[in-house]
A and B are shown apart, each in its own frame.
Chain A
Amino acid sequence: MIVINPNGEQQALMPLNVGPSHPATHGCLRYMAAMDGETIVACETEIGYLHRGFEKMAERGTWQQVLPYTDRLNYCSAIMNNIAYCRAVEEMLGVEIPERTKVIRVIVNELSRMADHCICVAAAAQDLGSTTGFFYLFDSREKTMVIWEKLTGARLTNSYSRIGGLYRDLYNGFEEDVLDVCNTAERNLKDVHACFDRNRIFLDRTTNVGVISPERAISYGWTGPCLRATGVASDLRKDEPYYDYETYDWNVVVGTKGDVYDRLMVRLAEIEESIKIVRQALKRLKPGPIDIVDPRIRVPAHALAYQDMEALIGRFRSVYEGIRVPKGEHYCGSETANGELGFTLISDGSGKPWRIKVRPPCLTQFAAYQELVEGSMLADSMATLSSINIIAGELDR
């Protein structure tokens, strides 16, 4: 297309369509860019290619039946979504979960955060052409997968958490496995840093690319590692602590500039912090119950159902009628790997949710994408895209 630019000169621009089937757009993003040579002048984004109706589906089942759907929001760290959802419902019910469950939830939370950051940085490395970094990071991730397999039976979409407890207790030898993963991850991190830290190509492609100012990021509602990369120390685990996160010894990682390099490095540093938390939490594990004792909320154990009439009724009612969450509206946000994952829950007092709205952290980051890439090169837009870690399942729901 031929345009007249603000200086009054005539210019020929080329509209270029990128995605949705493009290796760097993770399957489901599309943007149209007006190119002046290699430079993007204007960019228009479109989403919705993976809109699969989470919110409509959630209205059809009971409160527990929403759990598997939450797995598929951010499928790189499924357990965190379960926990965020369960926490929101538990706040509405006004129940306090046992101490052991809190510690286990912290451990699996941080392990999934680690896996999620691994996948984000690995994909970014792959998009930038570094296959070595990809393989190093996937190694520690695969080890986490083995733990999930032993613990829950599934590799990716686990559904481990339950409202008022957990699906099952830890298996024997869990501690050793987790420590092994921590050691592997630390070793791999060293290798990854050796790949990236003084790598001229990596530095040239990531520093001062896709910069955003903290004010603009806040106006776009950014949260999580992407906001921390701009220098704002905002982490819900510190600001609004839940599950005793404030009692662990760890630091909030912040960046300085808010470019691609900062975003990736913040993630790598957060893996180290997560390992710290996991190691401390393992020491706090004490034997005890994992479920709350209330047949109206947490289903009684299967073995009990054959001996106890109350337990049988409890199981029956919770499957057929669902948990009765008190009537009202509530918003609860938790810090997940990508930022604040919030659930707005509206209950009419029956066993089914009236409305569940997810507040996805990705949406806010991708809404700012056109501002991030305008004025930069086409190849830089790919680096920017992989650094803001768009997970389509969460973006489009």
Chain B
Amino acid sequence: MTALAEKANIITSSLDFIVNWGRKNSLWPFPYGTACCAIEFMSTETARYDLSRIGSEYVRFTPRQSDVLLVAGTITYKQAPILKRIYEQMAEPRWVIAMGACASSGGFYDAYCTVPGIDHIIPVDVYIGGCPPRPESFFDAMFQLQEKIQDESYMKARAERVKEQLEMIKAKTAECKENAEKAVKNAVSCGVQTIKEGRDNLMKKVAFWKE
């Protein structure tokens, strides 16, 4: 065994698999807890349910360092611009879980001040029903999110991004070329004009001196 271990070990795998495996097992949530669901999320964290079993114990309260935006609770119109801003501050890849009836659809607060579902503001990956959902259903949502991440392709996304970039570069080059041609044309026409003017002047001068 030791002899084997000392030798160079190689595992062959696809890059997608290894990237997704890493991502899905260390999902750091950002608990955007506003109401009752946040209390239930606290229960999920503590000893009886223990969220750290699936690698999410590291609750980050800054959008820059988290992967999952966990919207737990009612979002009102006063809160909406803040939620949007927090979402925009998160780095890619990012996922959103709408926890509970209020975040998913506004719940039974069908009033002048509540947003009827956070999908009016930001895209959502997983919805959890319940008012508030039990910790078990929260776990279920995390597993579903993990499945979703497993199906995502890092390489495909990268290829698409590269494609976009290539197209952008092409477009830029074409634009630059066009600009350069225009500039050359302008310069040439300017040059021709100056020569013409010079010749005209010369002719005038010649005519003057002839007289």
On whether A and B touch (CB less than 8 Å), the answer reads yes
Question: Which residues of chain B have C-beta atoms less than 8 A from A22's C-beta?
Answer: 61
Q: Which of B33, B39, B46, B114 contacts A52 (CB 8 A)?
A: B114
Out of B33, B47, B102, B132, which one reaches A27, CB within 8 Å?
B33
Stretch at the interface among B74-82, B141-149, B157-165: B74-82
A26 to B33, CA, bound (A): 7
**In the complex, which range does the number of interface residues on chain B fall in?**
20 to 34
Report chain B residues within 8 Å CB of A56: 111-112
Interface status of A379 (Cβ within 8 A of chain B): no
Q: Is the CB of B34 within 8 A of A392?
A: yes
Residue of A nearest to B109 (CB): A52
A53 touches B47 (CB 8 A): no
**Contact yes or no, A27 B73, CB < 8 A:** yes
Shortest CB-to-CB span from A288 to chain B, Å, is 33
Among B33, B43, B74, the residue within 8 A (CB) of A145 is B43
Q: Across the interface, do A27 and B82 meet the contact criterion of CB distance under 8 Å?
A: no
A7-29: contact bitstring with B at CB < 8 Å (1 yes, 0 no)?
00000000000001111001110
Known: A50-B34, A53-B114, A72-B35. A156 touches B40 (CB 8 A): yes
A75 and B36: CB pair below 8 A?
A: yes
Q: Which of A102-123 contact B (CB under 8 A)?
A: 119, 123
Q: In the assembly, what is the distance between CA of A318 and CA of B74, in Å?
A: 30
B169 touches A (CB below 8 Å): no
* B42 within 8 A of partner (CB): yes
With a cutoff of 8 Å between Cβ atoms, the chain A residues found around residue B180 in the complex are none
In the complex the two chains form, what is the Cα distance from A68 to B79 in whole Å? 23
Q: Which residues of A contact B38 (CB under 8 A)?
A: 26-27
* Choice from A52, A57, A155 contacting B40 with Cβ under 8 Å: A155
Among residues of A, the one whose C-beta sits closest to the C-beta of B60 is: A23
Is there a chain A Cβ closer than 8 Å to B108's Cβ? yes
**Is B155's beta carbon under 8 Å from chain A?**
no
Cβ of B32 < 8 Å from any Cβ of A? yes
Cα A139 to Cα B48 in complex, Å, equals 8
Residue contact A20 to B82, C-beta cutoff 8 Å: yes
Chain A min CB distance to B12 (Å): 42
Q: Interface range on chain A: under 10, 10 to 19, 20 to 34, or 35 or more?
A: 20 to 34
CB distance from B40 to the nearest CB of A (A): 6
Tell me if B110 counts as interface (CB < 8 A to partner A). yes
Chain B residues closer than 8 Å to A119, beta-carbon distance: 39, 42
Nearest CB in chain B: distance from A37 CB, A: 24
Query: B113 an interface residue at 8 Å Cβ cutoff?
Result: yes
Contact A50 B73 (CB under 8 A): yes
Q: CB-CB < 8 A to A134: which residues of B? A: 46
A82 at the interface (CB under 8 A from B): no
A129-169 CB contacts (< 8 Å) to partner B: 134-135, 138-139, 141-142, 145, 155-157
A27 CA to B36 CA, complexed, in Å: 11
Q: Report the nearest A residue to B34, measured CB to CB.
A: A27
Whole-angstrom CA separation of A371 from B108 in the bound complex: 36
CB distance from B108 to the nearest CB of A (A): 7
Let me know if B86 is at the binding interface, CB within 8 A. Answer: yes
Q: Which residues of A contact B91 (CB under 8 A)?
A: none
* Shortest Cβ distance from residue B128 to the other chain A in the assembled complex, whole angstroms: 14
Bound CA–CA A392/B32 (angstroms): 14
CA distance A138 to B44 in the complex (A): 11
CB pair B79 A156 closer than 8 Å: no
Which residues 24-59 in B have Cβ within 8 Å of A in the complex? 32-36, 38-40, 42-43, 46-48
- A139 x B47 contact (CB < 8 A): yes
Does any Cβ of A come within 8 Å of B134's Cβ? yes
Q: Mark B6-33, 1 if CB is under 8 A from A, else 0.
A: 0000000000000000000000000011
The CB with the most chain A CB atoms within 10 A, among B32, B40, B78, B134, is that of: B78
* A49 and B76 alpha carbons, distance in the complex (Å): 6
Tell me if B131 is interfacial: C-beta within 8 Å of chain A.
yes
When distances are taken between beta carbons in the complex, the residues of chain A under 8 Å from B110 are: 57
Complex CA–CA separation, A20 to B75 (angstroms): 12
A-B pairs with lowest CB-CB distance, top 6: A53-B111, A75-B36, A27-B34, A138-B46, A52-B109, A23-B61
11 contacts between A and B (CB under 8 A): A23-B61, A48-B76, A49-B34, A50-B74, A50-B79, A52-B113, A53-B111, A56-B111, A68-B108, A119-B39, A138-B47
A interface, CB within 8 angstroms of B: 20-23, 26-28, 48-53, 56-57, 68-69, 72, 75-76, 119, 123, 134-135, 138-139, 141-142, 145, 155-157, 392-393
A22-B61, A50-B34, A142-B48 known, 19 other contacts, Cβ within 8 Å: A21-B86, A23-B61, A26-B38, A27-B32, A27-B35, A27-B38, A28-B35, A50-B79, A52-B102, A52-B114, A57-B108, A72-B36, A135-B46, A138-B42, A138-B43, A138-B47, A156-B39, A157-B132, A393-B35
